[in-house]
Each structure stands twice: as C-alpha cells, then as structure tokens.
Amino acid sequence: MDAEFNGTYITLGGYVGVDKYGYLYFVILLALYLLILCTNLTIIYVICIHRNLHEPMYIFIAALSVNSILMSATIYPKLFIDVLSQRQIISHSACMFQYFIFYSIGISDILLLSAMAYDRYVSICKPLQYSIIMGRITVAILLTVAWLIPVLQVAVAIVVNSKQKLCDFTTDGFFCNNKIFRLYCVQSTFLKIYPMFILLNVVIVPTIFIIFTYINIFLVAYHSCPEVRKKATETCLPHLIILMCCFFLCIFDVISARMQSNLPNGVNLIMSLQIVVYGPLFNPIIYGVKMKEISKHIKRLLCHFWTKSK
C-alpha cells in the first residue's frame, strides 16, 4: 500500500513548524493572497476603464497582473490546504500541472519585462516613430510571444518528465519547482541540458536585451532636456526594480535546484516564499505607486469608495 501511495503522491517536505503554527501560517497566507488579488485586480480594472491608459506600457503592466493572479491561484490554495493538514502531499499529475503553470508564468513575466523595456526604448529614443512602431499589431505580437513561447518550452519539459521514473518521493520545497528533477531515478542528458537552455533563452538573453535598451535610454536621457530625464526616471525606475527582483529570484531558484546539499529548512522556506510573494504582490504595488498615471487613477478610485462609504 505504501509503495502504491508513494508511486502516486509526492511529499512536500519544505514546511517548518506546521504542527505548531499551522493556523498562523494560514492567516498570513490568506492575507497575502487576498492582498495579491485586490492589488492586481485594481491595476487591471484601472487600466481597462480609463482610455488614456490603453497604451502599450500599461497593457503590458495589466498582462503582468493577469499572470500574477494565475500564478497565485495555482500556488496559494494548495498552501492553504497543506498548512492545515497533517501530511503535506501532492499527486504527481497535480505537481506537474503546478510546475507547468509556475514556470510558464515566470518565463512570461520576463518576456513581458523585455517588451516593456523595448516600449520605453522606442518611446524615449525614437519618439517620432513611436505610434508607428508600437501599434496594435506589434503589441498583440509581443503579448502572444510572451504567453505562447513559455507554454511551449515548459510543455516540452513536462512531456519528457512524464516518461521518467521516480525513485524518491519527498522534495524539500512546499510547491513543485525545479527541485523535482532530483526525484527521478536517472536524469537524462536532455533533462540536464534543457533547463539551462531555457535559462539562457528566456532569462539571460532577455536580461542582456533589457540592459542594452536601458543603456541607450539613459544615454539619450542624459543628453536631453530635464523633461525627458524626468520621463525616463518615472517610467523606467519601477521597471528596473521589478527586473532586479525577478532576476535574483530566478538565480536563487536555479541555484537551489542544482545544489546537492539542501539549505536549512527555515532559509529554504523564506527564500522560496519570496518567489511566490515578490512578483505577484510587489508588481502592482510598485507600478501603482511609482507610475504617475496609474497612481492618479487609483487615488481617485479610493476617494470615490471612501466618499461612497460615508
């Protein structure tokens, strides 16, 4: 019976002190999840209803918020169940689905950040050609690429993984990420190389592209009038903050998955939790506070609800 059970389910061993603090974890996670939903839905709502925000930059921000909601809906409900359960387990098929959504969304976020960098580059470095270059067709193509390529690339890993046999049934994470590769009896050469190919293709190359675009943006802004420098700072600074957080969390995910010796459970839990908190929560907060147009509409929306509630 145990062998049959283990063949179907994977134990999530990354939780710390669930027996003592399960209800506290539940309250904290629920608060985070509700905050993620509220902030991202607010960003999407504000961008959708205001026509002056129907521009490429804001459309990409709304797409990031959609990604945040999808990722959180995949991760958090399972966390709620696990922190209140005596045994933290997940079926192999559900684990593969969680892995698929998590990395598809994560890669999509990086590609969306690349699209946003390109948009800022055209806006600041080629302002007279902006309306021609960043038309509806271009935005539609960039969105399609940002959502379709990650799905296809991660799907290949899922198909290959589905043919592998599990020899271990306990992972030191609290959701299914690259650490599940360690559970397979034999890691094929493809499984060793393909994740590095994805890292190069959709993390390193886009990051180099973003750095290149921002070097050009800052060079143009430096030699331009104060208004151009102000515009570059207001629109590019939030993007750079999000990019740095995303890049370092990607590096942590790769390193932790490749390390043969596990990190202490407490450190592993805190760092892994940041992966599912930073992006979904900080994206809308940073863009909502730092982006002048979005911030202005959010303040009006809050004032409207406050006045209506009195």
Calpha distance 276→102 (Å, rounded): 9
Report the 3 state secondary structure along 43-75.
Answer: HHHHHHHCHHHCCHHHHHHHHHHHHHHHHHHHH
Q: How many domains does the chain have?
A: 1
Calpha distance 50→191 (Å, rounded): 46
- Give the structural domain span for 143: 2-309
Name the one residue in this structure whose structure tokens are 């009006």: 300
Residue 130 three-state SS: helix
CATH of the domain at 136: 1.20.1070.10
pLDDT digits (tens, 9 = 90+) for 172-196: 778 888 777 777 777 667 777 887 7
What integer pLDDT is reported at residue 256 of this predicted model?
Answer: 67
> Do 15 and 171 meet the contact criterion of CB atoms below 8 Å apart?
no
Name the one residue in this structure whose structure tokens are 């904290």: 28
Report the pLDDT averaged over residues 18-26. Answer: 86
Distance of CA 97 to the CA centre of its chain: 16
The DSSP output letter for 262 is P
Residue 84 three-state SS: coil
Q: Is residue 54 predicted with pLDDT exceeding 50?
A: yes
pLDDT digits (tens, 9 = 90+) for 214-271: 888 888 877 777 777 777 777 777 777 777 777 777 777 777 666 655 566 666 677 7
Question: Is pTM beyond 0.85 here?
Answer: yes
Q: Which residue has the higher pLDDT, 38 or 262?
A: 38
Beta bridge partners of 171: 12
Calpha distance 290→65 (Å, rounded): 16
pLDDT digits (tens, 9 = 90+) for 65-99: 999 999 999 999 999 999 888 888 888 888 889 98
Q: Is residue 141 predicted with pLDDT exceeding 80?
A: yes
